[in-house]
Amino acid sequence: MATTLAQAIAWGRSRLLRAGVASPDVDAVLLAAHTLGLGRGDTEARAILGAPEPHGYRDLVERRARREPLQHITGTAPFRKLELAVGPGVFVPRPETELLVQLTLDLVRVWRGAGETHPGVIDLGTGSGAIALAVASEDPASRVTAVEREPAALEWTRRNLAGSRVRLLESDYRDVTVESAGRFCVVVTNPPYVPDGEIPEDPEVRDYDPPTALYGGDETGMTFPCAAMDTAVRILRPGGSFVMEHAESQVAAVARALEDRGFRDIHTHHDLTDRPRATTATLPGPGPGG
């Protein structure tokens, strides 16, 4: 007997649940939506109306059950108002990183309110280009630069940035200087910060995110975050701001490292699940309007 879409989704849900996938309900529907070339709502509506199981659905569920990331299977990742192309070689953007975009937009707005027509923003370690593209598209007056070093990630960066206003620097972010990039009102970064010995448990992260996007360079995970701070000190304007994502366990170490480098107004920010996952800080100087 032919299987309906609703029966296939129910099967997909239980298959993914057994495989240990964290969000089996959503993933089962989104894989069906991808197979049909429809949105989630339309797919659920079709399931209610008794549509047949789409061809190829079970193969996609089996890939997901082997813990291939959903975003690698569909080829896209939602981020703020964007759909980014992602796949092997690039870090899949996470919902918690959307907080960095909001913090950056808030700072850019202050600079613009103080008369800076096109505040400069630079995203260190842009990966898919998520942060840079979201800032550029949500605040079209901002001038956004994105920096990425890894060749495999750069394939995706170039693809996502094509046709956008974002300038791409194919470089190590530790080498960025005022001569190579200019001066910025805001430096934003989601650097590699996982302590070297802390191998993530989720296969989607451990086996698919590039190690160069994850590991922070030592047992505290702070080498690359501190390198981003050093670059920020060099390329920020006086009174400019630094915005960085980090692990919950790194709040105190991040604040100390920023203080050591002369930053002030150091604030920790909580993500949607109320975890302290981002810090902002400002360099001394006149700042917006000064």
Ligand X SMILES: C[S@@+](CC[C@H](N)C(=O)[O-])C[C@H]1O[C@@H](n2cnc3c(N)ncnc32)[C@H](O)[C@@H]1O
Least CB distance to ligand X at residue 146 (A):
8
Number of Cβ within 10 Å of residue 231's Cβ equals 23
Q: How far is the CB of 200 from ligand X (least distance, A)?
A: 12
* 53 annotated to a ligand binding site: no
Question: Rule CB under 6 A: which residues touch ligand X?
Answer: 91, 93, 97, 125-128, 130-131, 147-150, 153, 172-174, 190-192, 212-213, 224
CB nearer to ligand X: pick between 57 and 193: 193
Type of residue at 117: T
Residue 160 annotated as binding?
no
Contact between 169 and 145 under an 8 Å Cβ cutoff? The reply is: yes
Nearest to 139 by CA among 101, 88, 87: 101
User: With respect to ligand X, which residue has the nearer C-beta, 29 or 122?
Assistant: 122
Residue 155 labelled as part of a binding site: no
24 is in an annotated binding site: no
Q: Which is nearer to ligand X, 91 or 263 (CB)?
A: 91
Please calculate the CA angle 241-242-244 and round it to the nearest 5 degrees: 150
Cβ of residue 172: shortest distance to ligand X, in angstroms?
4
* Helix locations, 66-194, DSSP H: 70-74, 98-113, 130-138, 151-161, 178-181
How far the first Cα of the chain sits from its last, in Å, is 74
Which residue has the CB atom at the shortest distance from ligand X?
125
* 128 belongs to an annotated ligand binding site: yes
Side-chain half-sphere CA neighbours of 205 within 13 A = 13
Q: How far is the CB of 41 from ligand X (least distance, A)?
A: 26
Write out the binding residues for substrate: 190-193
Q: Which residues participate in the annotated binding site?
A: 125-129, 148, 190-193
